[in-house]
Amino acid sequence: MISCITPPFILDRLLDSDNEAIRQAALATLLTTARLRGQREVRGLISGALATAADGRRSIFDCENGTFLPFATFVRAEDDEPVADRSANQAFDGLGVTRSFYRDVFGRNSIDGRGMRLQGFVHRGRRYNNAFWDGQQMVFGDGDGEVFADFTGSLDVIAHELGHGVTEHTAKLEYRFQPGALNESLSDVAGSMVKQWHLGQTADQADWLIGADIFTPSIDADALRSMKAPGKAFNNKLFGQDPQPDHMERYVELPDTDEGDNGGVHVNSGIPNKAFYLVATIIGGNSWEAPGVIWYESMRASAETTDFQAFADTTFSKAGELYGAGSSQQQAVQTAWDEVGIRVGVSPTLGRR
Amino acid sequence: MRVSLATHGGLAAPITSRRPPRILDTERMPPAAAGQLRRLVAAVLAEGGGTRRSGRGGDAMTYTITVDDDGRSATITGSDTTMSAAFGALLSLIERQTG
């Protein structure tokens, strides 16, 4: 069985290192799949090579309720102390935790893998009920105060949005139909992993909710979405029932329009979300370890039009590459997708083995 | 002139789409605000009626503003990531007047 503490994407990067010892260690690991665990000297060299404290520097801007970002006022830089504005500090901290997560867990230097600056814009618009990633920066609304609260208050929402940035720089999944729902799901996976990593929670301990903090106390809703129980995040008179399916049998066909949510990208993401939750709970322990590595590697191996089936197939083959064919991790991947109605590892080629 | 704003998409898309549209009627507005609304609508229409959907991922919201004036109707669209300054000003005015 192949078992390696350092994921292949980090090893690939280390092969480009200027340090001969690191290159040799990475090469040896790739060739022999030797475990690096316990080899303190090598691990020290690796962490040194990955240290990028100066990279992904943060800047926070205050839109002062405007919608035109170039007019925003700069309020906090990477080395500045906290400022008086709570939203600015929350955005700053959320960007920082997410940046640390990608660096420490996946060896990824910021959103683009090359130290891209992280810019956050707070107080965008008036009573604006959203947070989004515009390809360059993260933008936060204050919420209307009735249904939604300040969007900077949710770490999983911040990580979700930055996750869109990572997807844009890797798989580039188009934002419609299944590739779009997969795009949304990968951001929810990022959001939940970052939150769990920050809180030190195992898969069993986590709530698997996205946006639990963005509703005002008066709203009867657990969260925006539940990865554990898609379709059950909310059910109230004000905005009805959570429309997310948790199985392909309940896949919601919607048109590729604004009204149709680009083919239901925020709706059908419930299916791959549930699959990730199941993989993480079946494997057990921390979601950002084997489950996260399998998903991250599979995202990097995906493309603009990758659909659910293709992504599921990729996670199955990646689990085999990373942890061995027939490993418990690969079996967990197969079981999880099967439970949401997507069969993997049953092609004629694989079936004969 | 009657102006209706429908909002779609965003992080909370399934919830956002179920919220009722915001509606403004110049007959029920202070003259100064009504005049400003007419000017901003004219400015966005002069630009060609806003922009199409961004086509880019990342939870941007899209806006459809329907203008009914003296029997004529026009639709203006924009998104968080592609709106012009004029569209942004119109959007802000509608949100301010209906907030």
- CATH number, domain of A138, equals 3.10.170.10
What pLDDT does residue B96 have? 86
What pLDDT does residue A7 have? 47
Helices then strands, counting H and E runs in chain A, come out as 12, 9
Identify whether residues A97 and A143 lie together within a single domain. Answer: yes
- For A89-102, give the DSSP string: HHHHHHHHHHHHHH
To the nearest whole Å, the CA of B5 is away from the closest chain A CA by 13
Whether the CB-CB separation of A123 and A87 falls below 8 Å is answered with yes
Question: Is A1 a member of any domain?
Answer: no
Identify whether residues A26 and A71 lie together within a single domain. Answer: no
User: Residues B7-31: what's their mean pLDDT?
Assistant: 91
State whether A239 and B18 contact (CB < 8 Å): yes
What pLDDT does residue A22 have? 59
Measured between CB atoms, does A267 come within 8 Å of chain B? yes
Identify whether residues A90 and A38 lie together within a single domain. Answer: no
Identify whether residues A45 and A111 lie together within a single domain. Answer: no
Identify whether residues A340 and A201 lie together within a single domain. Answer: yes
Identify whether residues A190 and A268 lie together within a single domain. Answer: yes
State whether B12 and A130 contact (CB < 8 Å): yes
Structure tokens at A43: 């691990």
State whether A133 and B95 contact (CB < 8 Å): no
Identify whether residues A72 and A196 lie together within a single domain. Answer: no
| Helix ranges (DSSP H) in chain A | 8-14, 20-32, 40-50, 86-106, 155-168, 177-199, 261-264, 270-283, 290-300, 308-323, 328-339, 348-351
For residue A251, the domain's CATH number is 1.10.390.10
**Quick check: B36 pLDDT over 70?**
yes
Condensed to tens digits (0 to 9), the pLDDT of residues B69-99 reads 999 999 998 888 888 888 989 998 998 888 7
- Residue A51 has phi, psi (to 5 degrees) of -65, 120
In a 3-state reduction of DSSP, which class is residue A317?
Answer: helix
Domain containing A121 equals: 53-153
What pLDDT does residue A71 have? 87
What pLDDT does residue A337 have? 98
- Residue A175 has phi, psi (to 5 degrees) of -95, 60
CA dihedral A325, A318, A246, A279 (to 10 degrees): 60
Whether the CB-CB separation of A141 and A133 falls below 8 Å is answered with no
Burial B7-45 (b: 16+ CB within 10 A, else e): bbbbbbbbbbbebeebebebeebeeeebebbeebbeebe
Identify whether residues A218 and A326 lie together within a single domain. Answer: yes
**List of residues 6+ apart from A262 with CB closer than 8 A:** A175, A176, A177, A180, A256, B9
Partner residue opposite B62 with nearest CB, options A144, A161, A258? A258
ipTM surpasses cut 0.95: no
The domain boundary, picked from A101, A122, A153, lies at A153
What pLDDT does residue A37 have? 39
Identify whether residues A34 and A126 lie together within a single domain. Answer: no
Count of domains for chain A: 3
Chain B residues within an 8 Å CB radius of A239: 14-15, 18-19
Cβ neighbours of A303 (radius 10 Å) = 12
Nearest to A246 by CA among A337, A346, A334, A344: A337
**Quick check: B48 pLDDT over 90?**
no
3-state helix, strand, coil in chain B (%, to 5): 35, 30, 30
What pLDDT does residue A15 have? 56
For chain A, which ranges sit under pLDDT 50?
A: 1-8, 30-45, 47-48, 51-53, 351-353
Identify whether residues A222 and A349 lie together within a single domain. Answer: yes
* CA end-to-end span of chain A: 17
Condensed to tens digits (0 to 9), the pLDDT of residues A269-313 reads 999 999 999 999 999 999 999 999 999 999 999 999 999 999 999
Task: Give which of A128, A134, A257 to mutate to test B binding, by max B Cβ within 10 Å.
Answer: A134
Identify whether residues A46 and A101 lie together within a single domain. Answer: no
Identify whether residues A198 and A336 lie together within a single domain. Answer: yes
